Chains A and B, each alone.
Chain A
């Protein structure tokens, strides 16, 4: 990338961060987050509308199709900011859907009128998008699970044997079972029985990659903010007549958490830069897997330690560390767990002497 292009990207990343912070202030509005938890649909349609006005679900979409045609660096910066603010709005799945839609369907999604979410998964801990679902003759039959924030969706993009299809929420033969998730959102399990659909041309497998990387970036925001909260606490909480952050055992643990956050940031930014520079195929898969594997493990470590270092207060629902832990619990294994991504990395990254 030329220096000028790099400066342009830095500038647009800064603009994205600023506008994201206005809607999802990092750690600044946990009242909003708490109010939405465990309620239907788990997020705020009004805030979602604002995010659409900002052009966020179309960030990666070509300008000719109504998007902003920005890169992964901007998308990751946005996702990180939303993670720091724990924003529950389903930006990542909706952005994934945006890559699979076109024409009026895409326009309605980008305008915030019609929320479409992807339904691709059939088994836990798998990135297989096809499974046993059959799409044929304008009908879908099968079962999809772990659809995040399905409670608020107006339609679903479904992948299966026979391709990709769009299914309206109220379509006959579609039943939706919702389960609450630890962060206050929900997973939908969708059962299709000869459910009418319209065929789509997109590529669900390719659309998974930006979603997995953006989830790593979101987790980076989550852990970064949880770590910041914890540092504040170490500096202000007194025991034995001293701030607990003056104890070397806790200082060294804090240093180790800082290192994990820094490694995650380096991995996410390097993957985003590689993809923006044109990395494809095995190279891109390896970069995304590296970022997601680190982010998943590090987010769990940092948020677990946030509870431990807050002591008893950390174990109360009233204190904020738990919000970050619960978010990490839901997102760490979404779009592939750390173990899955380690294995995928090994399968795709050429080893030194290969």
Chain B
């Protein structure tokens, strides 16, 4: 990128983004009704990679755009307005920032360019059948064997594992230690022998997440991030990145746009109770944006996120659900349709309502987020 985007005014910046999208975004990928798989979105990923627009939040020296918080938010809003699909972004949102902070120089040199080039598509191996909310209770084991770990166990709810060629993994390396103290963080190629992926069909009737099985999978010890048995610290930090991502106003902004379109179609603006409800949702979104920006700035300054980032996840996901609740309330019988109304992808209240369900469950349920806030932010007793 030759232009210093941070130096533009916000209005100028938005014009640049709009032009970029008009010139580059594939028309047939606008407003997809469900999350796209890699086979469909890789064209767009590679376009972003080629033009240098893939990693807005990464520092410039690592190949990112180094955009300020305000610019990142404006960029997201413009992408949203254009109906841009989400890519397979675990590498961009999570692995990159993680390695920039915790990785070795060798790990950064090897992995970051491959994320930027779209060679490595990442997925996240955290949850297990017996370790959901109680993530630190995970049992997938890694046993030392010379310069390798041998991994056995099972992960679940692994988003787009069926697209990924790398997985970042929490494993138990010291079964005798207290639960949080025997965990390590590994980077594993998905084509390693012994890995099996099985998709799960969710309420959207979509194979967005998977189970991943590990049967004597050999992983080089050089693929450990941070110290052995200190993976929980790394993971907790990554959860911070995840929460700032899950707390991004993007989903709610998207949903509010759809609510607006639906209200136009249903003639809901004549109802004063609806317009007041709509304004309250708008205000909540604007306040979320302001709060989100303060956390984005913390990341941009290279400082560690505190546990208070859990607030963002709670606010965003519950706002998302409140917006889709309002859609269902004004949609009438259309609320029961399986497909978008009138063949219009922008009018799909039932689809968005279903999509909003897991947001308060994944990434640490909102009950867990509130536990974290009360114990680690407010200091309330256990």
Check if A266 sits within 8 Å of B291, measured CB to CB. Answer: yes
Q: Which of A259, A269, A342 has the most CB of B within 10 A?
A: A259
Check if B290 sits within 8 Å of A349, measured CB to CB. Answer: no
Given A346-B275, A352-B260, A353-B257: A293 in contact with B283 (beta carbons within 8 A): yes
- Complex contacts, B283 vs chain A, CB 8 Å: 290, 293-294, 342, 345
Nearest CB of chain B from residue A213's CB, rounded to whole Å:
14
Count, A-B residue pairs, CB within 8 A: 103
C-alpha gap A248/B378 in the complex (Å): 13
B163 within 8 A of A: no
- Complex contacts, B315 vs chain A, CB 8 Å: 259, 263
C-alpha gap A111/B261 in the complex (Å): 56
Residue on B nearest A347 in the bound complex, by CB: B279
Check if A254 sits within 8 Å of B378, measured CB to CB. Answer: yes
Residue on A nearest B278 in the bound complex, by CB: A346
B207 within 8 A of A: no
B210 within 8 A of A: no
A203 within 8 A of B: no
- Complex contacts, B379 vs chain A, CB 8 Å: 231, 235
C-alpha gap A235/B375 in the complex (Å): 11
The B355-382 residues at the A interface (CB cut-off 8 A) are: 367, 369-371, 373-375, 377-382
Check if A251 sits within 8 Å of B371, measured CB to CB. Answer: yes
- Complex contacts, A352 vs chain B, CB 8 Å: 81, 253, 256-257, 260
Say which residue of A231, A251, A259 sits within 8 Å of B375 (CB atoms): A251
A234 within 8 A of B: yes
Check if A254 sits within 8 Å of B380, measured CB to CB. Answer: yes
C-alpha gap A251/B374 in the complex (Å): 5
Check if B290 sits within 8 Å of A267, measured CB to CB. Answer: yes
C-alpha gap A293/B284 in the complex (Å): 10
Interface residues on A, range: 35 or more
Check if A259 sits within 8 Å of B381, measured CB to CB. Answer: no
Interface residues on B, range: 35 or more
Given A251-B374, A263-B288, A294-B287: A349 in contact with B282 (beta carbons within 8 A): yes
B27 within 8 A of A: no
Which 9 pairs between the two chains have the least Cβ-Cβ distance?
A251-B374, A266-B290, A266-B291, A255-B373, A270-B290, A245-B380, A255-B370, A346-B279, A252-B370
**B interface with A by C-beta (< 8 Å):** 81, 253, 256-257, 260, 275-276, 278-280, 282-284, 286-288, 290-291, 293-294, 308, 311, 314-315, 367, 369-371, 373-375, 377-382
- Complex contacts, B375 vs chain A, CB 8 Å: 251
Check if A246 sits within 8 Å of B380, measured CB to CB. Answer: yes
A243 within 8 A of B: yes
Residue on A nearest B77 in the bound complex, by CB: A352
Could you give, for residues 247-259 of chain A, a 1 whenever the CB lies within 8 Å of some chain B CB and a 0 otherwise? 0101110111011
Task: List 10 additional A-B contacts (Cβ < 8 Å) besides A259-B311, A263-B284, A343-B279.
Answer: A234-B380, A254-B380, A258-B378, A262-B311, A263-B291, A266-B294, A267-B286, A267-B287, A269-B290, A343-B276
C-alpha gap A270/B381 in the complex (Å): 33
C-alpha gap A242/B371 in the complex (Å): 17
C-alpha gap A269/B297 in the complex (Å): 14
- Complex contacts, A263 vs chain B, CB 8 Å: 284, 287-288, 290-291, 315
Given A245-B380, A266-B287, A290-B287: A259 in contact with B260 (beta carbons within 8 A): no
Check if B382 sits within 8 Å of A262, measured CB to CB. Answer: no
- Complex contacts, A342 vs chain B, CB 8 Å: 276, 279-280, 283
Given A252-B370, A267-B290: A246 in contact with B382 (beta carbons within 8 A): yes
- Complex contacts, A231 vs chain B, CB 8 Å: 378-380
- Complex contacts, A54 vs chain B, CB 8 Å: none
A318 within 8 A of B: no
Check if A262 sits within 8 Å of B291, measured CB to CB. Answer: yes
C-alpha gap A353/B319 in the complex (Å): 20
Check if B374 sits within 8 Å of A235, measured CB to CB. Answer: no
C-alpha gap A248/B379 in the complex (Å): 13
Say which residue of B279, B293, B381 sits within 8 Å of A345 (CB atoms): B279
A351 within 8 A of B: yes
